[in-house]
Amino acid sequence: MRNEDGTPWLPAGLFEGQTAFVTGGGTGLGLAVSRRLGGLGANLVCASRDVGHHEALLEDGQANGYEVLSLELDVREPHDVKRVVREAVERFGRIDVLVNNAAGNFVCPTLLLAPKGFKAVLDIALNGVFYVTREVGRVMRDGGGTIVNISAPYATTGKPGVVHSACAKAGVEALTKSLAAEWASLGIRVNAVSPGPFHSRGAADRLWPSEEIEQKILDEIPLGRFGTAEEVGEIVCFLASDASPWITGSIWLADGGWMLPNPLVEDLAKVRRRRNAGN
Ligand code: NAP
């Protein structure tokens, strides 16, 4: 996102001297957020199961002069979470920003969804968020901080085929609002970003595995395109920064209009396709 004169919207040095902890910070949205936070001056803690996924971020940190601490973490394991948060504090002395980005998802009709599959998604996308937030909150309570959780629009509307993820994200939104009120007196702001479909390998493989399904989703988006990890990431960075000091407990929807009631969706998609073909 840029100002009219081409300068970046968020000012250089916005996170100078701060430490940001991003779960799943090596791929997709987590990588876009981590790169941007690093570019704006933060030290990065990147935590996920496969440290091989952190290579691109480590390279970006070296090329652009910010520090990256790469740590193996399965957010489903509270003891692991405790260890990793301790290592982050040992290295940087503080955590100013937490982005709860890690999640797992797949499409499955509910009648075929095994209890194990439901539990696996809840364990990562809801319980994991609680474990990490609680542990990082114990660090932030001494000096304040900001937390941004990643939700999804179907947390409020529901959606067939993703009941597991919808339940997890609904819980994440409840956690966001509860802690925003509970931790405001500690100087901790808590918000969430709720993005519509954007391209990432995880999403493409599991949520729109064929061109036909991808086209169907595209047809449902009034603005006529998927989002990008970078534009969603910019909102995450804004909410994590001192540029949004009076915003807490909010859920920022960024979905190209995907969730608006849209009974003419097919007709409008046809008009859009004809217009694009004419260009
Ligand atoms: P992604 O690239 O697959 O990101 C998921 C990340 O989570 C990976 O880096 C993965 O790293 C990490 N992760 C998964 N399980 C973990 C665990 N148990 N412990 C620690 N880390 C774990 O997908 P994405 O699309 O960027 O998704 C990022 C966020 O956006 C998610 O919260 C997702 O629900 C949300 N979202 C995405 C879309 C979309 O259209 N893409 C739409 C709405 C919301 P490892 O494999 O190394 O563990």
Q: DSSP string of 176-240?
A: HHHHHHHHGGGTEEEEEEEE--B--HHHHHHT--SHHHHHHHHHT-TTSS-B-HHHHHHHHHHHH
The question of whether 154 is a catalytic residue gets the answer: yes
Q: Exactly one of 154, 198, 226, 238 is catalytic; which is it?
A: 154
* Reduced DSSP (H G I as helix, E B as strand, rest coil) percent helix, strand, coil of the chain, to 5: 50, 15, 35
Instruction: Identify the sign of the CA torsion 241, 247, 251, 257.
Output: negative
Q: Would you state the pLDDT for residue 7?
A: 66
60 lies in some domain: yes
Q: Would you state the pLDDT for residue 258?
A: 93
Structure confidence by residue, pLDDT tens digits, 197-247: 999 988 888 888 889 999 999 999 999 999 999 999 999 999 999 999 999
d(CA 51, CA 27): 11
224 lies in some domain: yes
Please tell me the pTM assigned to this model.
0.95
201 lies in some domain: yes
Q: Would you state the pLDDT for residue 42?
A: 98
pLDDT means per 10 residues, the chain with 279 residues, are 72 96 98 98 98 98 98 98 98 98 95 97 98 98 97 95 97 98 98 96 84 91 95 97 97 95 76 77
9 lies in some domain: no
d(CA 222, CA 245): 32
The torsion region of residue 112 among left (phi > 0), alpha (psi -120 to 50) and beta comes to alpha
132 lies in some domain: yes
19: β partners: 43
Structure confidence by residue, pLDDT tens digits, 262-278: 767 777 777 777 888 87
* Domain count for the chain: 1
3 lies in some domain: no
Tokens of 152: 């999804």
Whose CA is closest to atom 18 on ligand 1?
74
Q: Would you state the pLDDT for residue 263?
A: 67
d(CA 57, CA 60): 5
5 lies in some domain: no
What is the CATH classification number for the domain harbouring 40? 3.40.50.720
Ligand 1, pocket-test mutation among 31, 44, 45, 48, most atoms within 8 A of CB: 48
Q: Domain range spanning residue 166?
A: 19-278
46 lies in some domain: yes
Which candidate, 172, 219, 164, 163, places its Cα nearest to that of 195? Answer: 172
With a 6 Å cutoff on the Cβ, whether 70 touches ligand 1 is: no
d(CA 147, CA 137): 9
Nearest atom, ligand 1, residue 74 CA: 19
Structure confidence by residue, pLDDT tens digits, 190-207: 999 999 999 998 888 888
With a 6 Å cutoff on the Cβ, whether 49 touches ligand 1 is: yes
